[in-house]
Structure 1
């Protein structure tokens, strides 16, 4: 296992989700960890969402350390593949609005949900320079993969992530899978894979190592 460290100094992070709560479920702990660093700027794009869900996404972005309200694509949930051109346009508009991020966080291209998969496949055609980390979203489909990048989380950060998920997304509380155990169990599993208590996992399809 190789350990990498992000150098100190300014950091620009772009977080992209198909639906409100995707970003926070997939990489909320990482966002909290990055936001604790000085000079970190976090912006987000959410492609779908009713007005109620968009309001939740705005609350969540603030709670998880975003430095600006999320941008919304205004597209239909579960229909993103049929709106391919609009998704691509939204990604390019977001890139132009928030240029040159250091890290882009997005769903996995092999995610079983069609909206997630489309975003995961398109982000690397829109951003070619930054480190693109594909986060995982646990769900009924049972499509967890084999990640190759991890961000360890402190116990406080893991618990804070779950607390903020509950606070930000009350519309989801009635779902049968929405509870502390569901969220913490995956963080614990990924932590065991990194010799830590908790961690979030990502897939990076391509990375460039600069040797100085």
Structure 2
């Protein structure tokens, strides 16, 4: 198992189809980023109230020293494939912001059509950056084998869940939104990388430099 340190990451693009996608999938990674990191936070969908939740959550998950820029869009939830051109422009516009050290994007095999499209577009738009494709647990049961892990301490894992509850109150009524679901998956992924908790990602292509 080869380690990769987040300490050297200075710029991140975080792509989400919906408010809460990024935090559910990569909240622990956000908590682990170094102070001073520049983060471009991009959402494809979201009504104003949900976008407000996302703003609040992103600020809470990131260090106060982070340079955080929001790029929030309001395409129809669940209909991104029908708005392919607009969705591609959102991703391409994010890629034109610069060459980030790290890109967070949904899995290209995600069962949700909005997630899947963003993941597919990210792979082609960000050819010169490391793209971590994240996982989002859901009714469809599409969790699969991952090849990159971000270990989390017990404190980080529980902090992530506490922040999810605090900043996304609109989702609390969902039958899957609870500590057991979030921490259960984190515990399984932690076991897979010899940590207590972890988040898991997929990298399709990486370039080693010496």
Do these two structures clear the TM 0.5 threshold for a shared fold by scoring above it? yes
My pick for the range that moved more, 38-47 or 75-84, is 38-47
CA distance in 1, matches of 2:189, 2:142: 15
State the partner residue of 1:39.
36
Structure 1 consecutive aligned stretches of length 4 or more whose deviation exceeds 4 Å = none
Determine the C-alpha separation between the residues in 1 that align with 2:50 and 2:36: 29
Contact 1:80/1:118, CA 8 A, preserved across alignment: yes
CA shift for structure 1 position 69: 4.5
Residues 76-110 of structure 1 deviation map (CA, whole Å, 9 limit, x = unaligned): 000000000000111122222x3110000000000
1:88 aligned partner: 88
3-state DSSP of counterpart to 1:160: helix
Map of 1:114 onto structure 2: 113
| SS, match of residue 23 in structure 2 | helix
Q: Number of residues paired by the alignment?
A: 207
Structure 2: state its 5+ residue gaps.
none
Deviations 1:12-62 (A, max 9, x none): 01100000000000100001101xx23322221000011111111111111
RMSD: 1.2
**1:58 alignment counterpart:** 55
TM-score (norm 2): 0.95
Q: How does 1:154-169 map to 2 (within 5 A)?
A: 154-169=153-168
Q: Structure 1: any 5+ residue segments left out of the alignment? A: none
Alpha-carbon shift at residue 7 of structure 1 (Å): 5.5
In the aligned structure 2, how far is the partner of 1:78 from the partner of 1:72?
16
What's 1:74 paired with?
74
C-alpha separation in 2, matches of 1:83 and 1:44: 20
Render the CA deviation track for 1:189-208: whole Å, top value 9, x for unaligned.
00000001000000000011
Give SS of 1:26's match. Answer: helix
Partner of 1:147: 146
Query: Contact conserved, 2:39 with 2:69, CA < 8 A, in 1?
Result: no
Q: How many Å separate the matches in 1 of 2:69 and 2:19?
A: 13
